[in-house]
Structures are given as structure tokens and as C-alpha cells.
Amino acid sequence: MKFPSPVSIQWIAELIGAQAKGNITASATGINEIHKVEPGDLVFVDHPKYYSKCINSAASFIIINQVTDFPESKALLVVDQPFEAYQKIVKHFRPFEPATQPISATALIGEGTYIAPNVFIGHHVTIGKNCTIQPNVTILDHCVLGDNVVIQSGTVIGSDAFYYNTKKNRDVWYVKMQSGGRVVIEDDVEIGANCSIDRGVSHDTRIGRGTKMDNMVHIGHDTVVGNNCLFAAQVGIAGATTIGNGVVLWGQVGVSKTLSIGDNAVILAQSGVPASLEGNKIYFGSPVEDASVKKRELVWLKRIPEIWDRIKHLK
């Protein structure tokens, strides 16, 4: 999540009640979670296991619960509860704004765009030209749609990320991280009925130009989908995943979190993707393998009863 303008680290420290150390005269440009951090970002960490990963990431400023070694160019913001500090920053820059009408007065809607009855459009949404938004679509706050976008009935754009801070030493084990990111849908995208595209936790979930989705597709938080992809019904993609250009996912493909799929990969129906895949190949199975290898394997599996019968009669 980018701030409206750079914010001084000293001001952030005052907001969250932190002790600032290091490059405290610098300014932060945004706040992000570890999978998406960029230079100028704040990130939080509350477990020693992840200190090194966060401190040595692209993030310039680290909200942390104890002092540890860090580069001179960066700053630490030391607080007892880094997660709660993160939540406070997100709530300050993206406060909850109750809806008072079906289409917010702050929404910007381009020329030639059709908005059907019973559509809900939240605060600070931008929709481009010549779009078609069918009945019962929900587009929540801060989302951005390009030109010539088609969204079929019942789809939800910008629901909260399924992303929780987990600690089993408290009464409530799973506490939702505030979702400060957006969904950005580029030009010429078509989205089927009853799909859900979650906003980023702190970055943007992005759907690239020309991508087409069938019904009942789910895209998790912070996922980036390339241009001209094709997703069939009931595809599910977990959070912070990167899908290249021209990728085809056939029906009921499941893709795990924080991985990447290369350009022009094709994944056949009902396959499961647990790890990153090279582009320009066809995959099948769960877990996926090269489709030609997997199909030969299935042929041999079918022959097992025949082979076993022959073995039994050997003397």
C-alpha cells in the first residue's frame, strides 16, 4: 500500500509509539508485507526466525519487537507488538468508510460504461470506458478497472484477503490482517459469474490485459496475473502468486501460494500446482508433472492388473 505522499519515519514512530533507530530522518513511501516489499516500504516482523529475511529484504524500514543488527541505510521501529503497529498504520491510511448508497459519489465511471441494476460500487473506485458490469456485481473500495472490462453477475471484486496473523498463545489464534491493497483489472479483461478476486493485503492484486475468466474462479490476495491468460471454471489461485503471460489453467486447477508460473504454460484440468513451473510446457496431475510423462505413467498404472496376473502364473 502506497501512502498518498512520503511520510517521515519520526511521524510513523509517534503514531505507533515506537523507538526509532538508524536512518530516522528518512521518509517511508508505503507499507507492505514481506512477499511484496519494495525500497521505501515499511514491513513488520515479530519472530526472530524472520528477522534476517525482513532486515535484508528490499524494505527500508522494519517494525520489530527487539533491537538487532541492521544496515546503516535502514531504520528500525521498535515496539512490543509489531503486528498491532502494522494494523494501526493501515487503519490510519485506509480507514473504514461506511457505504451510504449503492454507487459511491466518489466513484469515477468512464464514458459508455453500462452499470446494471443492483450493482454495488464502493468508495474511490475507478472504472474505465465501455465496460459492462452485470447485476449483483460488487466492486469494493479503491479498486481500479480499465477500459472494455466485462464482469458477469454475482462476482465480487476487492473482498478482504484471507490472511491472518497466527499465534496460539492467545484466546483468538487467527487475527485478520487489515487489507490495505487494491484490485487492479487492466483493459479488455472478462470475468465470469460468481468469481471472487481478493484485494492485496498491502500490495495490489492485478489482472493483466486481455485475460479471460470463466465462472466461479477465485484469485487470492496480492496475486499478479499476466496478459492474455485463460482460466476455466473453478480455478483457484492462492495468495501472492505470479502468473505469467498467456497461461492457460483448465477447470478445477488449484495453484498454491507464493509461487510463479512461466509464460504460456498450460495446466490441464484438475491438476494441483504446489511449486513454481517453467513456461512453454503442458502440465498435468497432482502434483503436476510434464503432461506427456504423466500420461505415460497413467497408461502403465492401468496395466498393473494385467502385469500382476501374468506374474502370478509364472513358475
Residue pLDDT, tens place only, 48-107:
999 999 999 999 999 999 999 999 999 999 999 999 999 999 999 999 999 999 999 999
For residue 42, the SS3 value is: strand
Pick the catalytic residue from 123, 142, 221, 313.
221
**What is the grid cell recorded at 65?**
519487537
For residue 22, the SS3 value is: strand
To the query of whether residue 313 is one of the catalytic residues in this protein, the response is no
Quick check: 119 and 107 in contact, CB under 8 A?
no
Residue pLDDT, tens place only, 257-269:
999 999 999 999 9
Quick check: 75 and 26 in contact, CB under 8 A?
yes
| pLDDT by 10s per residue, the chain, length 315 | 999 999 999 999 999 999 999 999 999 999 998 888 999 999 999 889 999 999 999 999 999 999 999 999 999 999 999 999 999 999 999 999 999 999 999 999 999 999 999 999 999 999 999 999 999 999 999 999 999 999 999 999 999 999 998 888 889 999 999 999 999 999 999 999 999 999 999 899 999 999 999 999 999 999 999 999 999 999 999 999 999 999 999 999 999 999 999 999 999 999 999 999 999 999 999 999 999 888 888 888 888 888 887 887 775
Which residue, among 193, 183, 205, has the nearest Cα to 133 in the 3D structure?
193
CA distance 114 to 230: 24
Scan for cell 500382476, then name that residue. 308
User: Crossing angle for the helix pair 291-302 and 304-312, nearest 10 degrees?
Assistant: 40
Predicted structure pTM score: 0.91
User: At 54, which amino acid appears?
Assistant: C
**What is the grid cell recorded at 16?**
505507533
